């Protein structure tokens, strides 16, 4: 998994490449937590994310809760069909702001 950070005037984008699994969830969680102190608007670009496991979902749900509590927003961009299916099966497609 690789995470690339891009900063704009009103948000931070993290582009996540590879697999977000039990093996990589902690690394992703740390990266997300680091930027939560810098912005209230986090965008996760999942264009190159090929796999999302339950441990990865936990990271995303946690980020969503933290941003909501701070009055911020989490947006998911470029979700591929396979990953979107995970959101749909779990019902989280109604929880996240997916573009």
Q: How much of the chain exceeds pLDDT 90, in percent?
A: 99
Cβ atoms of 28 and 3 within 8 Å: the answer is yes
Q: What is the model's pTM?
A: 0.95
Question: Strands 2-7 and 12-20, how do they pair?
Answer: antiparallel
Collapsed DSSP state (helix, strand, coil) of residue 17 = strand
Helices 25-36, 54-69: inter-axial angle, 10-degree rounding: 10
39-61, pLDDT tens digit by residue?
Answer: 999 999 999 999 999 999 999 99
Evaluated on CA atoms 47, 1, 91, 30, the torsion sign reads negative
Averages of pLDDT over runs of 10 residues in the chain (99 residues) are 95 97 96 93 97 97 95 96 96 95
DSSP labels, 56-87: HHHHHHHHHHHHHHTT-EEEEES--HHHHHHH
* CATH code linked to domain 2-98: 3.30.750.24
């Amino acid at each position: 998994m690789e995470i690339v950070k891009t900063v704009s005037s009103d948000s931070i984008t993290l582009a996540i490449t590879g697999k977000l699994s039990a093996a990589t969830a902690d690394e992703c969680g740390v990266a997300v937590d680091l930027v939560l102190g810098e912005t209230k608007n986090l965008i996760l670009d999942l264009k190159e994310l090929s796999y999302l496991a339950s441990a990865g979902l936990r990271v995303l749900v946690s980020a969503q809760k933290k941003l909501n509590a701070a009055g911020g927003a989490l947006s998911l961009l470029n979700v591929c069909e396979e990953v979107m299916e995970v959101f749909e099966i779990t019902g989280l497609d109604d929880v996240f702001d997916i573009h």
